[in-house]
Structure 1
Amino acid sequence: MELGKLLVAVLSLALVFGAVRSFDFTEEDLASEERLWDLYERWRSQHRVSRDLDEKRQRFNVFKMNVQYIHRVNKMDRPYKLKLNKFGDLTSHEFRCSYSSNIKHFRMLRGSRGCTSFMYEKASNLPPSVDWRRNGAVTGVKDQGRCGSCWAFSAVVAVEGINKIKTNELVSLSEQELVDCEKDNEGCNGGLMENAFEFIKKTRGLTAEWIYPYRARDGNCDSAKMNSPVVMIDGHENVPINNEYALKKAVAHQPVSVAIDAGGSDLQFYSEGVFNGHCGTELDHGVAVVGYGTTLDGTKYWIVKNSWGPEWGEHGYIRMQRMVGAEEGLCGIAMEASYPIKLSSNNPQREPFKDEL
């Protein structure tokens, strides 16, 4: 295996199987300002958060409110839990501004979704549960950083998945190529997943992550790296809007890109369980549904891959309740779903990249 591909494989395994340390606290840590300040210092040390003294004082007040909120929610009888993670001293507004893609805004600018066919319309006898991770069709969890590039990560999950299904080869693909080169979207300022699919189709493929690595910032398009595609697709289709059963049909066959409303502290600090908390339909975050299932008590859920790193949620994933009674699904998950089409098993033929020689 080439050195670059080997490094990506090792990193992916580390992200999937590596132990993720949680940052726990007790009621005693909340007993006084002094104990809370000590908790904040320990949290900063673990997450390597650097603040000057004035900013530390301001951030401490935000941190304190977040810790108290997490503690309060976890004492409630909810099917999910929260934890203090790396977003501990950010307000909900700051968090949304730093990590969101404002997908609903882009949809308003670009107009309504294009009309496409839906190849899974007549699908029936769907399996009771699906997890594309178990089929080796999902790479390790990645981290978009403080860049609103979630749309690129969402699209890449879907393309990586269909490529594995069609070719039996799992390749970690380049989000940075989409951020730098896909001009219908706006890089770290956000975008739409279907634009990413069309870009990949028109440019005859997307290159590998190890060739065009992620930098978590906008950059100039590197045409030399872009001209080394390793995976191609033939287009995309949109899942019928506001139809969770149609979404289930699609996910039964491949990972699917979706948009959700990720605002609010419960998603910011989600740790484990089936999420059924409060959220709206102001779509602002691109993620990917990589499976579905049902808990022992009968609660139906989606398996959603996020791009906030493996220390968030269930090792980078969230289980979101499905079939909630609202046509748009929880957090609008059924409003903006799409997936790439790959008709053939052939990927682009190219000359070896210099680092492979």
Structure 2
Amino acid sequence: MSRPLQTIFYLTLIAFLAAYPAFARDFSIIGYSPDDLSSEEKLHDLFVSWMSKHLKIYNSLEEKLIRFEAFKDNLKHIDERNKRVSSYWLGLNEFADLTHKEFKNKYLGLKVAENRNVDSSEDFTYRDVTNIPKSVDWRKKGAVAPVKNQGACGSCWAFSTVAAVEGINQIVTGNLSSLSEQQLVDCDISNNGCSGGLMDNAFKFIVTNGGLHKEEDYPYLMEEGTCETKKEQMEVVTINGHRDVPQNDEASLLKALAHQPISVGIQASGRDFQFYSGGVFDGPCGTMLDHGVAAVGYGSDYIIVRNSWGPKWGEQGYIRMKRNTRHREGLCGINKMASYPIKNK
């Protein structure tokens, strides 16, 4: 190839990658390629391949057609966003056959407390901390259990609570035990099971109940069950209380997070959040909290968040959320409602 043709080739390639930033990455990450969008037939082939990958089975041809239309609409959104955004990318995950309304109805569930203590600085354990590490990742310290999946049950509040309790228990005892979200869903009457709840209430329940059972003794069902009181003799993990992080204060959030995984509320109902596949997320979202998750670390410009939508979502079940946004509430309201359990040594 002559030098002028070489130059033209490379300029064309650079222009293509600039127009399609997500396609500069491995196609397997986002689940499709530009060629898949070229015809209705190829879209259908992509849909069938996606169905096989995610073990999707529909009860009728009519339902399949409805899901195919939702799939195409979602793919259009994913592709348009991937062409415009460079810091993160979206992919065809297991939610790609749901309308956005269906997704919001099934996979969220945080109930925000109207009477929550806004100024909790006096009770804040880490108020006087002055120096924290530049980065922390509690996964590498052995304080984070494998990513779990809440299913189509609005029990995110239970998963957020349990992740924080699992973390502090490991930090204090050296043992990482996977604990029971189902016990909270079934037994914590201060919350509403699959219809939503609040992490602060769940922390209080664990204290008054005398602890929380292990996952293996009280496994998750993805639906509400009957509170199993016969399990009372089985081993439990205890905490001594909980504290709220001062509201809308990222510095305090990082102080707490430098010492333990914490529960946080976010607004996760944005369409980009639904299909997040990787990168540092700084996408469109508000601060009306609707989802409970766990912050398990931070880097120079992001907070590491453990979700409860299974390991196929995001970065193996995690999302890196942009920090230093200059908004008091933080991206998606992550600074608004953080809390953490206390466990005495």
Instruction: Establish whether TM, by shorter chain, passes 0.5.
Output: yes
| Equivalence for 2:246 | 240
Decide whether the 8 Å contact of 1:247 with 1:334 is kept in 2. Answer: yes
What per-residue deviation string (whole Å, max 9, x for no partner) do you get for residues 301-340 of structure 1? 0000000001111110000001211100000001110000
Structure 2 CA distance for partners of 1:150 and 1:226, relative to 1, 3 Å = farther
Matches within 5 A, 1:192-231: 192-231=198-237
SS at match of 2:213: coil
Q: Superposition pairs for residues 1-357 of structure 1, below 5 Å? A: 22=29, 24-51=31-58, 52-104=60-112, 107-108=113-114, 111-113=115-117, 116=120, 117-294=123-300, 300-344=301-345
The letter of the residue matching 1:112 is R
Percent identity between the two aligned chains: 54
Shift of 1:285: 0.4
1:78 CA drift (Å)? 2.3
Q: Does the C-alpha gap of structure 1 residues 114 and 218 become closer, same or farther in structure 2, counting only changes over 3 Å?
A: farther
Instruction: Answer whether contact 1:103 1:259 (CA < 8 A) is retained.
Output: no
Structure 1 residues 63 and 180, CA gap change in structure 2 (3 angstroms)? same
Alignment partner of 1:75: what SS?
helix
Q: Classify 1:163/1:102 alpha carbon distance in 2 versus 1 (closer, same or farther; 3 Å).
A: closer
Contact 1:204–1:229 under 8 Å retained in 2? no
Cα distance in 2, alignment partners of residues 23 and 54 from structure 1: 27
Q: Which whole-Å CA distance do the structure 2 matches of 1:114 and 1:342 have between them?
A: 23
Deviation, structure 1 residue 142: 0.4
Is the 1:177–1:226 Cα contact (8 Å) retained in structure 2? no
Counterpart secondary structure, 1:278: coil
| CA shift for structure 1 position 226 | 4.5
3-state SS in 2 of match to 1:237: strand
**AA of the residue aligned to 2:31:** D
Distance 1:262 1:158 in 2: 19
| CA distance, structure 2, for counterparts of residue 330 and residue 68 of structure 1 | 25
**C-alpha contact (below 8 Å) 1:22/1:85 kept by paired residues:** no
* SS in structure 1 of the partner of residue 293 of structure 2: strand
Q: CA deviation at 1:229?
A: 4.0
- With over 3 angstroms needed to count, the CA separation of the structure-2 counterparts of 1:236 and 1:114, relative to structure 1, is farther
Alpha-carbon distance in 2 for matches of 1:245, 1:89: 39
2:191 alignment partner AA: N
| Counterpart-to-counterpart distance in 2, 1:212 and 1:270 | 31
- Partner SS state of residue 272, structure 1: strand
Q: Point out the more displaced range, 263-272 or 67-76.
A: 67-76
Aligned partner of 2:128: which letter? K
Gaps of 5+ in 1: 1-20, 295-299, 345-357
Q: Distance in 2 between matches of 1:180 and 1:88?
A: 30
Q: Figure out how many residues of one structure are paired with residues of the other and give that number.
A: 315
- Aligned twin of 2:12: none
- The Cα shift of 1:77 comes to 3.8
- Distance across 2 between alignment mates of 1:90 and 1:341: 39
Counterparts of 2:323 and 2:211, CA distance in 1: 33
In the alignment, the residues of structure 2 paired with residue 114 and residue 272 of structure 1 have an alpha-carbon distance, to the nearest angstrom, of: 33
Q: Distance in 1 between matches of 2:117 and 2:160?
A: 17
Residue 102 of structure 1 and its aligned partner are, at CA, apart by 3.8
* Contact 2:160/2:294 (<8 A) preserved: yes
Deviations 1:102-141 (A, max 9, x none): 423xx24xx3348751010011111100000110000000
The 4+ residue runs of structure 1 with deviation greater than 6 A are none
Q: Structure 1: which amino acid aligns with 2:183?
A: E
**Letter matched to residue 90 of structure 2:** L
Aligned match of 1:348: none
Contact map agreement 1:118 1:238 (CA 8 A) in 2: yes
| Distance in 2 between residues matched to 1:229 and 1:78, nearest whole Å | 48
Whether the aligned pair in 1 keeps the contact of 2:242 and 2:340 (CA below 8 Å) is yes
Shift of 1:59: 1.3
Who is 2:3 aligned against? none
- Rounded to whole Å, the distance in 1 between the matches of 2:339 and 2:45 is 46
> Aligned to 1:274, what secondary structure does the other structure show?
strand
Deviation at 1:228, TM superposition (A): 2.4
Contact in 1 for aligned 2:124/2:246 (Cα 8 Å): yes
Residue pair 1:234, 1:340 contacting (<8 A) in 2 also: yes
TM-score by length of structure 2 reads 0.89
Q: 1:239 to 1:88 in 2, by over 3 A?
A: same
Find the residue that maps to 2:79 and give its secondary structure.
Answer: helix
Structure 1 position 70, deviation (Å): 1.1
Cα 1:234–1:102, aligned 2, differ >3 Å: closer, same or farther?
closer
Cα distance in 2 between the residues matched to 1:146 and 1:77: 29
Q: Give 5+ residue unaligned stretches, structure 2.
A: 1-27
